[in-house]
Amino acid sequence: MTDSPDFEITLRIYWEDTDAGGVVFYANYLKFFERARTEWLRALGHGQEQLRLSESAMFVVSDTTMRYRRPARLDDLLRVTVTLAEVRRVSMTLAQQAWRGDELLTEGTIRIVCVDAGTFLPRSIPNAITTALPQK
């Protein structure tokens, strides 16, 4: 990773994350990536439950592209990154990676769309969030 990410979290692999292959079940990296995005938004000042209650706004995932390079195992400590790749009126695209030490395990691109929490129809990302985003 040549450039430093906008944000990162550290997380531990537990039994719940693994499968009978002895490694982390691949679908769970989507959960890890989401934990990182959630903490990134929180660090920008926006909890998602509060966003839903105060603005009736919710982010839903519309597109994911994931590449699984190396497996993680029980007890591993992973570093999961978030880098803002693109912001549009109703959506954002994030580039994310999972690392164990200096080994890149999994990487992906996640597009999230801002929707109304009641109707699920797309709506503009709240100003409070767009103004807090890193300038690219």
Which active-site residues does the annotation give? 19
Does residue 49 bind its own copies (CB under 8 A)? yes
CA distance 96 to 64: 11
CB of 3 to its own copies, least distance (A): 23
CB of 17 to its own copies, least distance (A): 8
Q: Using CB atoms within 10 A of its CB, is residue 83 exposed (0-12), middle (13-18) or buried (19+)?
A: buried
Does residue 75 bind its own copies (CB under 8 A)? yes
Helix residue ranges, H only, 1-136? 28-43, 48-55, 127-130
CB of 19 to its own copies, least distance (A): 5
- The percent of the chain in helix, strand and coil, each rounded to the nearest 5, is 25, 40, 35
Does residue 58 bind its own copies (CB under 8 A)? yes
CA distance 92 to 111: 6
Does residue 65 bind its own copies (CB under 8 A)? yes
- Closest residue by Cα to residue 112 from 125, 129, 102, 130: 125
Residues 90-119 binding its own copies (CB under 8 A) are 117
Contact 107, 135 (CB under 8 A): no
Does residue 121 bind its own copies (CB under 8 A)? no
Does residue 21 bind its own copies (CB under 8 A)? yes
Give the residues lining the site for its own copies (CB under 8 A). 12, 14-16, 18-23, 25-28, 30-31, 34-35, 38-39, 42, 47-50, 52, 58, 60-68, 71, 73-75, 117, 120
